[in-house]
Structure 1
Amino acid sequence: MLKQQVVPENVGLSTERLQRIRPVMQACVDQQQCAGVLTLIARRGQIVHLDCVGMMEIEANKAMQPNAIFRIYSMSKPITSVAALMLYEEGRFRLHDPVSKFLPPFKNTKVLVKATESGRLMLEDQEREMTMFDLLTHTSGLSYGFDPLCPIDKLYRKMYKELNILDHEDRLIHPYGVSLTDIMPELAKIPLRYQPGTRWHYGLSTDLLGYVVQVIADMPFDEFLQQRIFTPLNMQDTGFYVPAEKVDRFAAMYGPAEQGGLRPIDAPATSPYLQTQSFRSGGGGLVATAHDYLQFAQMLFNQGEFNGVRLLSRKTVEFMTMNHLSENVLQPEFEAKYPGYGFGLGVRMVSNVAQAGHVGSEGMFNWGGAAGTDFWVDPKEELIAIIMPQQLWDPSLKISLDFRVLTYQAIID
């Protein structure tokens, strides 16, 4: 177990400088950019900062608390990637195995060439089949369906509506309603946006990866995560739904209101997360506490081991957290969003601090979620940081970058 909060100076951080974090987080709340936020920093295996600002639920006048449960959305992806790599270590698949080895319908998935002015799609065969590596690196050609101008994404939206899995004003995949088994055959019918391996594009790759884990392990995906990751790491509050006895710790989710300020999007008492989900999204379906996610991040920092339990080997974690993609594959989408970064197997990592445009270290790896949550691990500085707001799809929310600066400026050794 990670030790509870210690004197920051014992691990090379300044107490005085860490106190700069709270006013910046409070300003975010005061300016109604978010309802509340939790920040956590650990160094050398010890928690040095844990603070809560603002409200967990404004309507109930409930303050943010250290054991709050958050929707972590795409911070689910590194967990699913670790699950897959555990099977990889067991020899259950090779990285360049075609996905169709486990899910035959994807063998015949077509690829978009272009759309004609009349709207007809010109398609071609896959030059090489989509692989497990492609799923881990978002180079599969799969999409999310969020681009209203892309004809392929329109097909995703059509599939979502037909399966009734849209939520939150048709902007996110609903966490329940249909199963992975229902979705994946339909997904295989939609053409890929790009030839596999040729371009990084954010999409349902990790959801498909989670389904492959389920098929290979011959075990429901949620059970695999529980048995192989959550229980060994003592992640007691992480899962695909919030049990009734924990709903009082479940944070409300907000979004920006048209006239400024905040508007509620998902209230704890009526949230779909209170129901057991049949669609267990490895790409974005988990809820967790900051402390649970710290256990997971510490395992990665420890190169695969935590509290005497080894999930991955040191070499596999090194392999996971190194860049695997060329500039040609990263351009233009990834490099436009994340200059100075490369992409590994489920996480991005800093390859050039200056180009990244913020303080940090080469080799620092991270990923975030749609509600503004973020984590990063800096092996060089022996540092882990986690920030947990619940502000959905708000590009103006910059507190994660502010928190990064505030974290690094506190280092004094």
Structure 2
Amino acid sequence: MANLITDVGSPENVGMSSERLLKIDNALQRYVDQEKLSGVVALIAREEQAVYFERFGQMSRETGMPMQSDTIFRIASMTKPVTSVAAMTLWEEGRFQLDDLVSRYIPKLGSLKVLQDGNVAVNNLVEPERQMTVRDLFRHTSGLSYGISLLEASPVNKIYQDADLRNANQTLEEMTLKLSQLPLAGHPGAEWRYSIATDVLARLVEVISGMPFDEYLSHSIFDPLSMNDTGFHVPQEKIERFATVYGLTPSGELSPIGLPTEKRYTQRPGFLSGGDGLVSTAPDYLKFCQMMLNGGVLGDARILGRRTVDLMTINHLQPESMPFQISRTMSGFTKGYGFGLGFAVMTDLAQSTAMGSEGEYNWGGAATTFFWVDPQEHLIGILMTQFMPMYHYNIDREFRILAYQALVD
């Protein structure tokens, strides 16, 4: 079992300033005081020691329950790095190669065609220039879509929606069967496109391991790292720790849009989404991040080899695919970044809009959760709140600046 100390130690012992870290308090409390957010948990660690771990506001404005250090959050797309690590544990066993065709493991995905020129006419379906590979699933170059209009109003998005591709009651196997009957939005390898690819990767993990995806995650990651509050649903005895998700009314007031009692999270779902299905806590996700920063090991639990972590956290995109873009509203957030095997990777600090170091890697979730890992500075940052849409505020960029300005060594 792996243990990581989240009791806050002296920042000065690891080259950070206690006084300068206090600036974070004012910045995050301001979001709560101005009723922009209900509550926030923020965690910074350096050299395997938490140096900042604070909570602000409430996990539920309706009940008045204060935010807790072990509050459970919907981490949404922060699931993707976890899924990617799970897949790479199988890669280390020689169970697949990155450039294997996905159809080798999920044969029905070998006959996908590309919808050309945005026309839904059958005669505008063309053969892909090549089939998607497993590497394409990791780095979002598969040609798949997400079924929502992130960048352009592609007809493929509507086709995905009509197929109810992300039905919470279906299995990953049923999802991929549906997907096999739908067109690709682009040619595999041609461009970066955020998509359902990591859900397909989760299905690949099931096929290769012979285990349900949630069981494999527990076996390969959660149990060894003692991530006891991470999973696809919240057990009844932990519901009181599960945060409410908020959005804004037309008049700009916070209003609940996701309650802790929603059936989707109170019982094991049929759809074990490798793309956005997990719930977790800041301390649990710190264990995952610290494992990565340590080169695949935490305590006596080795999840990956050091060179595998190195491979995952370098850029795998071609120059013509950079900077990649998630959506129209997030066009500036990926400048200076490439994409590895499940993580955004900083390649050019000068071009980036984020404070950090080249080689830093990160990702975030739709309900405004973020993390980053900086190998150069041996630094980890985790920010958890529950507000949609993400990037409505610049809180993640502000938090990063506040963390880095406290470095004094």
Question: Which TM-score applies when normalising by structure 2?
Answer: 0.95
CA contact (8 A) 1:242 1:273 kept: yes
Q: Paired residue for 2:222? A: 230
Q: CA deviation at 1:395?
A: 3.3
Secondary structure in structure 1 of the residue aligned to 2:227: coil
Counterpart Cα distance in 2 of 1:300 and 1:115: 40
Secondary structure in structure 1 of the residue aligned to 2:178: helix
CA contact (8 A) 2:114 2:187 kept: yes
Percent identity over the alignment?
46
CA contact (8 A) 2:324 2:338 kept: no
Which of the residues 139, 149, 161 maps onto 2:153? 149
Q: CA deviation at 1:119?
A: 6.2
CA distances 1:211-261 after superposition (whole Å, capped 9, x unpaired): 000000000000000011000001000000000000011011111211102
Q: Paired residue for 1:205? A: 197
Counterpart Cα distance in 2 of 1:332 and 1:285: 24
Secondary structure in structure 2 of the residue aligned to 1:67: coil
Structure 1: gaps (5+ residues): 166-175
Q: CA deviation at 1:309?
A: 1.4
Which of the residues 356, 360, 376 maps onto 2:352? 356
CA distances 1:197-224 after superposition (whole Å, capped 9, x unpaired): 1111000010000000000000000000
User: What is the root-mean-square deviation in Å for CA atoms of aligned residues?
Assistant: 1.5
Secondary structure in structure 2 of the residue aligned to 1:154: helix
- Equivalent runs, 1:301-316 vs 2, <5 Å: 301-316=293-308
Secondary structure in structure 1 of the residue aligned to 2:52: strand
CA contact (8 A) 1:73 1:370 kept: yes
CA distances 1:7-49 after superposition (whole Å, capped 9, x unpaired): 1111111111111111111111122221111000000000111
CA distances 1:123-162 after superposition (whole Å, capped 9, x unpaired): 11122111100001100011111117210111011112xx
Structure 2: gaps (5+ residues): none
Q: CA deviation at 1:115?
A: 3.1
Distance 1:396 1:164, change over 3 A: closer
CA contact (8 A) 1:123 1:191 kept: yes
Secondary structure in structure 2 of the residue aligned to 1:50: strand
Is structure 2 residue 127 aligned with structure 1 residue 131?
A: no
Q: Paired residue for 2:169? A: 177
Which of the residues 359, 362, 365 maps onto 1:366? 362
CA distances 1:148-196 after superposition (whole Å, capped 9, x unpaired): 7210111011112xx682xxxxxxxxxx311112111111211111111
Which of the residues 82, 89, 92 maps onto 1:86? 89
Q: Paired residue for 1:51? A: 54
Counterpart Cα distance in 2 of 1:140 and 1:336: 23
Q: Paired residue for 1:170? A: none
Q: CA deviation at 1:331?
A: 5.1
Q: Paired residue for 2:283? A: 291
What letter corresponds to residue 214 of structure 1 in structure 2? Answer: E
Is structure 2 residue 380 aligned with structure 1 residue 384?
A: yes
Counterpart Cα distance in 1 of 2:180 and 2:333: 28
Q: Paired residue for 1:108? A: 111
Greater Cα shift, 19-28 or 74-83: 19-28
Distance 1:336 1:128, change over 3 A: farther
Q: Paired residue for 1:245? A: 237
Counterpart Cα distance in 2 of 1:245 and 1:89: 36
Which of the residues 13, 24, 28 maps onto 2:16? 13
Is structure 2 residue 29 aligned with structure 1 residue 37?
A: no
Secondary structure in structure 2 of the residue aligned to 1:353: coil
CA contact (8 A) 2:365 2:390 kept: no
Q: Paired residue for 1:189? A: 181
CA contact (8 A) 1:78 1:346 kept: yes
Greater Cα shift, 286-295 or 118-127: 118-127
